């Protein structure tokens, strides 16, 4: 009986440790967006066409991707994730672009905001806004 109780307690503790907290959900969306922006930036440079990222009511979209390019996702992983503001990001085709950023938040929470940004030379990265 004691062994079964210890196993049950260990299983309960492990299941609590595996739960996703709200901060991780927004961070996962931000990291994914940074990767998608870099992918679109590379496709823009390879094709020599300008690509623009913009926020939409249901997620986001990439305008100008070549038809031969693999389609990129256009939705957030979590339905509560949203971009603040409507400023589009211009992703190329030049190797050096203007410094750009998008701020993400999770609706209905008081979580810190996350900023996905580039200085124009380095890849997009995620920063927490204080």
For residue 126, pLDDT beyond 70: yes
Q: Please give the pLDDT value at position 102.
A: 96
Q: Please give the pLDDT value at position 36.
A: 97
Nearest Cα neighbor of 26 from 123, 98, 102, 119 is: 102
Domains and CATH numbers, the chain: 16-128 (3.55.40.10)
Q: Please give the pLDDT value at position 18.
A: 56
* Cβ–Cβ < 8 Å for 46, 70: no
Query: Rounded CA gap, 20 and 48, in Å?
Result: 40
- Overall pTM surpassing 0.85 (yes/no): no
For residue 20, pLDDT beyond 90: no
Cα–Cα distances in Å, from 91 out to 51, 53, 59, 100? 5, 7, 18, 9
Task: Give me the phi and psi of 57, to 5 degrees please.
Answer: -65, -30
Q: Please give the pLDDT value at position 15.
A: 63
Q: Please give the pLDDT value at position 58.
A: 87
For residue 53, pLDDT beyond 70: yes
Query: Rounded CA gap, 13 and 118, in Å?
Result: 40
* Cβ–Cβ < 8 Å for 34, 108: no
For residue 40, pLDDT beyond 90: yes
Average pLDDT of the chain to the nearest whole number: 89
Q: Please give the pLDDT value at position 124.
A: 97
Q: Please give the pLDDT value at position 1.
A: 72
| pLDDT single digits (tens) 54-80 | 999 889 999 999 888 889 999 999 999
For residue 86, pLDDT beyond 80: no
Q: Please give the pLDDT value at position 13.
A: 72
3-state secondary structure 24-90: HHHHHHHHHHHHHHHHHHHHHHHHCCCCEEEEECCEEEEECCCCCCCCCCCCCCCCCEEEECCCCEE
């Amino acid at each position: 009986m004691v062994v079964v109780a210890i196993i049950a307690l260990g299983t309960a503790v492990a299941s609590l440790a595996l739960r996703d907290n709200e901060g991780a959900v927004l961070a996962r969306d931000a990291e994914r967006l940074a990767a998608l922006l870099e992918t679109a930036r590379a496709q823009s440079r390879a094709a020599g066409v300008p690509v623009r990222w913009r926020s939409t009511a249901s997620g986001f979209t990439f305008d100008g991707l070549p038809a031969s390019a693999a389609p990129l996702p256009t939705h957030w992983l979590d339905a509560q994730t949203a971009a603040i503001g409507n400023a589009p990001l211009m992703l190329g085709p030049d190797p050096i672009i203007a410094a750009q950023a998008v701020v993400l938040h999770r609706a209905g929470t008081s979580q810190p905001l996350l900023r996905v940004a580039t200085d124009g030379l380095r890849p997009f990265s995620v920063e927490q806004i204080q």
